[in-house]
Structure 1
Amino acid sequence: MNGGERLSLEHGSGGALSRWLTETVIYPFFRGEQYEELADASPFRLDGGGLLTTDTYVVDPPFFPGGDIGRLAVFGTCNDLAVCGATPLALSLGLVLEEGFLLADLRKVLASVRAASDQAGVRIITGDTKVVPAGKGGGIYLNTAGVGRAAPGLSLSPARMRAGDRVLVSAPVGAHGLAVLAARESLPVGSGLVSDCADLHPLCAALAALGPALRCMRDATRGGVAAILNELAGACGLGLNLVERDFPVEGIVAAAAGLLGLNPLEIANEGVLVAVVDGDSAGRALGILHDHPLGAKARDVGGVTAANPGRVLLETSIGGRRWLDMPRGLLLPRIC
């Protein structure tokens, strides 16, 4: 079978072609000490406390400026662990492939998964593959589960937030969602838009040095920072007073969002974290972020207050005030 050929339903039937696909195409990318043989399960040892997460990726198109579905799946899963204070260790990888999907594109995705895993220091140690009829899938979907080792003594939760805490955003917002949308729709405003898809564990591990002064962290994906900020306010029972002009937004993102009538604060990211820290430690936390390339443009965007519990109040760029509510309606579908 050459790289120009396409997958058939027989590749998912459990017979000879299924075995060929698994043994010849997929497994060689991930064979290693922790995945020595194809079996129904892989042995895994975790010393100390652990965290488990799972995620599913249906991004359309599967290849976009700045990344692809494979890179997105690895970093997205690792980021969910990292913002909870864990060191990512191992992942599972489930493939749902549509009949007719190019073998060459599958190899590209698998190579990207392996490269991202190497960068993040994790290993794929088990997986599964299914093939669905043409028209019944989206080309390729990925499902992952991730296991991480919890950092001893680190407790992260919105319940630990207090009035006077500060809210930090690690990087410019809105790039990922717009990059995917522009690639999908071939939008002329998309020239130069690149996804921010990145491994956030180095930033999270560095912030952990703050100890109890680090209240909690979140990965600002679907719904953007607006969704995360509302979730935090609701979970802690306090209010957030934020300043719109202090949110980092790249010029090209602001311009494209303006033309499309979108709010950058509501657009998905894949390389941005929101951290809440004790007010006295905000300067140190920003310094930690600024010392890393992914946090070079981090900003303090506002604070936690006892007023307006459960609500997010935004000082607008023209000096007014408005509620920043949880995003509603169909935002940007299939961006992760």
Structure 2
Amino acid sequence: MMKRIIDELFLDEFGSPELLAGNDAGVAQLAPTGRIAMSTDSFVVTPQFFPGGNIGRLAVCGTVNDVATSGARVRYLSCGFILEEGYPMADLRAIVHTMAQTAREAGVAIITGDTKVVERGGADGVYINTAGVGEVPAGVELSGAACRPGDKVLVSGTLGDHGIAIMSQREGLAFSTAIESDAAPLNHLIYNVLDAAPHARCFRDPTRGGLASTLNEFAAASGVDIYVDEDSIPVRPEVRGACEMLGYDVLQVANEGKMVAVVPADEADAALAAMRSSRYGESAAIIGEVCEAASTRRDARPTVRVRCGWGSTRVLDMLVGEQLPRIC
């Protein structure tokens, strides 16, 4: 049965030459000299099917985006499945088909993988692990520690869509307008921004902990303060309303198809135009800037602040704990 699943489902859908070779490792050609970027992630989201995607789309997008934040040209993925005994083949086929479609959209090949089956009750349907590898072009040096005072902060689109889409399905919440996950491969968006803003400092996909955690990570790594303007941050009205109803800060809600970028001020407009010209960046915005750390005390920590619409500011803390467990 395991061989049939591999031969008739995984090999048929993914079908890269490296995978079809049938070896224990996929051998792929990378540049003879240079650097590679690699990342891995595991996906345990519940429910596994939700508006805007399923666990398979998350698995491909999540790893593609993680590798792409280094500026690498993402080339190859691996995938590992943990299946619960009795998991419906129709559901597995739908997930694998979605993964294959998403990999083609991102322009990457799935070249190796693994499948394990555990006893009934030993897992919650299906878990997926993906790992990705890409080539980092010469001269590209992106890091959360590279932010400098005066830099601008950009986000590629509306925040909170994924987290609220998952929560609405999990809790059976109904809204007047459908809220869908934003899961999307953003590697081409990043490439476009790097072409337009070659001195970009860093990229990060604001998944667990949302924008708040991402900006606090940048601030801590670079030793700077960051200010963002609440009115400039794109959020769908239905998502904002759901967060207010549920008591969530939308800036701490997970995203799976958005990118945060920090770029020099003189390249910000070009970076914004590049984002907006991309398929998944139509709602991109410049939302804030990097500033000198306000305190020079040794024990002081860099701060992220939000300028509110009525003129005051508030501290935007990193999310503590798991606001929405099993969100990806």
Q: Which amino acid aligns with 1:118?
A: R
Structure-1 residue corresponding to 2:312: 320
Give the alignment partner of residue 70 of structure 2, picking from 76, 84, 109.
Answer: 84
Q: Are the counterparts in 1 of residues 197 and 270 from structure 2 also a CA contact under 8 Å?
A: no
- Tell me if 1:239 matches 2:225: yes
Find the residue that maps to 1:141 and give its secondary structure. Answer: strand
Give the alignment partner of residue 105 of structure 1, picking from 72, 80, 91.
Answer: 91
Q: CA deviation at 1:190?
A: 7.8
Measure, in 1, the Cα distance between the counterparts of 2:197 and 2:275.
15
Structure-1 residue corresponding to 2:247: 261
Find the residue that maps to 1:292 and give its secondary structure. Answer: coil
Measure, in 1, the Cα distance between the counterparts of 2:188 and 2:5.
35
Find the residue that maps to 2:86 and give its secondary structure. Answer: coil
- Tell me if 1:129 matches 2:121: no
| Residues 42, 190 of structure 1: alpha-carbon distance in 2 compared, 3 angstrom cutoff | farther
Q: CA deviation at 1:180?
A: 0.9
Q: CA deviation at 1:189?
A: 3.3
Q: Are the counterparts in 1 of residues 275 and 284 from structure 2 also a CA contact under 8 Å?
A: yes
Measure, in 2, the Cα distance between the counterparts of 1:56 and 1:285.
31
Deviations 1:272-322 (A, max 9, x none): 111001112212211221222322211111111113352101112332211
Structure-2 residue corresponding to 1:275: 261
Give the alignment partner of residue 46 of structure 1, picking from 20, 25, 30.
Answer: 30
Structure-2 residue corresponding to 1:115: 101
| Residues 275, 234 of structure 1: alpha-carbon distance in 2 compared, 3 angstrom cutoff | same
Q: Are the counterparts in 1 of residues 197 and 263 from structure 2 also a CA contact under 8 Å?
A: no
Deviations 1:227-273 (A, max 9, x none): 10000000001100111111100111111111111111111111111
> Identity over the aligned pairs, expressed in percent?
43
Q: CA deviation at 1:324?
A: 0.3
Q: CA deviation at 1:191?
A: 4.9
Q: Are the counterparts in 2 of residues 90 and 125 from structure 1 also a CA contact under 8 Å?
A: yes
TM-score under structure 2 normalisation?
A: 0.94
Q: Are the counterparts in 1 of residues 209 and 319 from structure 2 also a CA contact under 8 Å?
A: yes
The more displaced of 285-294 and 323-332 is: 285-294
| Residues 92, 79 of structure 1: alpha-carbon distance in 2 compared, 3 angstrom cutoff | same
TM-score under structure 1 normalisation?
A: 0.92
Matches within 5 A, 1:138-153: 138-153=124-139
Measure, in 1, the Cα distance between the counterparts of 2:197 and 2:138.
11
Find the residue that maps to 2:20 and give its secondary structure. Answer: coil
Measure, in 2, the Cα distance between the counterparts of 1:299 and 1:51.
28
Q: Which amino acid aligns with 2:118?
A: V
Measure, in 2, the Cα distance between the counterparts of 1:191 and 1:138.
30
Matches within 5 A, 1:100-249: 100-189=86-175, 191-210=177-196, 212-249=198-235
Q: How many residues align?
A: 320
Give the alignment partner of residue 18 of structure 2, picking from 34, 44, 49.
Answer: 34
Deviations 1:25-66 (A, max 9, x none): 322212232222322112112113211110101111111100
- Tell me if 1:250 matches 2:250: no
Q: Structure 2 unaligned runs (5+)? A: 295-300
Q: Which amino acid aligns with 1:220?
A: P
Structure-2 residue corresponding to 1:18: 2
Measure, in 1, the Cα distance between the counterparts of 2:85 and 2:260.
39
Find the residue that maps to 1:172 and give its secondary structure. Answer: coil
Give the alignment partner of residue 49 of structure 2, picking from 51, 56, 63.
Answer: 63
Structure-1 residue corresponding to 2:297: none
Measure, in 2, the Cα distance between the counterparts of 1:290 and 1:188.
30
Q: CA deviation at 1:95?
A: 0.2
Q: Are the counterparts in 2 of residues 183 and 190 from structure 1 also a CA contact under 8 Å?
A: no
| Residues 187, 111 of structure 1: alpha-carbon distance in 2 compared, 3 angstrom cutoff | same
Q: Are the counterparts in 2 of residues 237 and 310 from structure 1 also a CA contact under 8 Å?
A: yes
Find the residue that maps to 2:213 and give its secondary structure. Answer: helix
Measure, in 1, the Cα distance between the counterparts of 2:13 and 2:274.
35
Measure, in 2, the Cα distance between the counterparts of 1:259 and 1:270.
22
Measure, in 2, the Cα distance between the counterparts of 1:77 and 1:200.
10
Find the residue that maps to 1:189 and give its secondary structure. Answer: coil
